[in-house]
Homo-oligomer: A and B are copies of this chain.
Amino acid sequence: MARVVTIRTVAERAGCSIATVSRVINGSARTSPEVEARVRAAVQELGFRPSEIGRSLKTLRTRTLGVVIPSLTNPVFALSVSGMEDGARQRRHTLLLTTTDYDPTREPEMVETLVAQNVAGLVLTVTNADSNPSLDLLEAEGIPYVLVYNEPTRPDRAAVCVDNAGATRALTEAMIADGHRRIVYLGGRFASSDRSRRRYLGYVTAMEGAGLPPEPAVELDYLGDAEGHARALAALFRDRHHPTAALCSNDLLAISVAGALRKLGLEVPGDVSVAGFDGISLGSLITPALATIATPNRRMGERAVEKLFEMIEQGEPPSIEHLDYTIRPGGTLASAPGGTAEAREQHPPCAAYQTVPPSSSPTSD
């Protein structure tokens, strides 16, 4: 498809040089009003649209941002991408979107694809933010990037996230205050989610803080595998002395778990309380509403892009930014079947149902 009208065509039509056309289009230098008018007229008539490729080849940077996320089907990521798009459009950039389907081996592939496209920067959610060849590559090449959701231990990696450990800790403490003693943590595989690891950490901290023995994490395959979840839960809840609360590392998992529990003949929250993490709107639509930790998903994507531009344009050094989260109460959470009223009065769970600014919960690692 030969490009019909180039900057040269416009120059001829306007009776000037291509340099002048470029100046008019980009406003990169002053031009006389007459010439400018002629150029604009020519652009109009010819329907000229400058090629981003030609521009990019010269300037060695594009107006695109690369995005790498696990999946679009999880509303959490769809929302964050939505926020990224807003942020990008404000700066006249577009998103080059790729997904890994939760497969870590696909991360390098996607990152290399994006780098080959000379993206101005990247926004990504990876499985492991601390030890990650793709991020190493980006740093080696000097290509700016910002992580979303990931919460790196290394402070030299740019990220926009919530205090994952602090949030689960707060939620676990609320459960304990509600009289729960045997609480189980269900999460994605640790190998493929540093978030799941950090969230478990918060759970452990809360349990130990209350003098309760933390249960080992139950690692489940990600979403969609309802059967697998059901099997794992059957083993866990067969016992008469089963846990009275299930803390899930994300909302979709929590919804799946609640469904599986009901199929086992257990009532939610009568027999088992369930809570999630993410705050997708779906959680509020089901009955009973899912208790969860609501994170500012769209805002996280938008802020990540803002941060990326700060790094690109103002050379800001990478840093980790924590955004607020909210513990959102819901009908899936109730007092423990055997819980005492006193315990509840002592630690009214409502105290936790507030937006938590990042500064107030500097969870240790």
Contact = CB atoms under 8 A, between A and B. Distances in A.
Interface in A98-118: 98-99, 112-118
A75 interface: yes
B64 A73 contact: no
B94 A117 contact: yes
A57 B118 CA distance: 13
A2 B60 contact: yes
A344 B115 CA distance: 61
Contact of A95 (B49, B85, B97): B97
Interface stretch (A10-18, A34-42, A159-167, A280-288): A280-288
A322 to B, nearest CB: 24
A71 to B, nearest CB: 7
Given A78-B72, A82-B99, A99-B82, A116 B49 contact: yes
A240 to B, nearest CB: 28
A265 interface: no
A142 interface: yes
A95 B82 CA distance: 15
A51 interface: yes
B1 A52 contact: no
Interface of A is mostly: mixed
B113 A94 contact: yes
Contact of A94 (B1, B114, B285): B114
A62 B53 contact: yes
30 contacts: A1-B60, A1-B61, A1-B143, A2-B60, A3-B60, A49-B116, A52-B117, A53-B62, A54-B57, A64-B96, A64-B117, A71-B82, A72-B79, A73-B79, A73-B82, A75-B75, A78-B78, A81-B97, A82-B99, A85-B97, A85-B99, A94-B96, A94-B97, A94-B117, A95-B96, A96-B96, A282-B282, A285-B285, A286-B286, A287-B287
Interface of A: 1-3, 49-54, 56-57, 60-62, 64, 71-73, 75, 78-79, 81-82, 85, 89, 94-99, 112-118, 142-143, 255, 282, 285-287
Given A50-B116, A72-B79, 13 more contacts: A1-B61, A51-B116, A52-B117, A53-B53, A53-B62, A54-B57, A72-B78, A75-B75, A94-B117, A96-B97, A255-B285, A282-B285, A285-B285
Task: Report the 6 A-B pairs with minimum CB-CB distance, sorted nearest first.
Answer: A78-B78, A72-B82, A97-B97, A72-B78, A52-B117, A52-B116
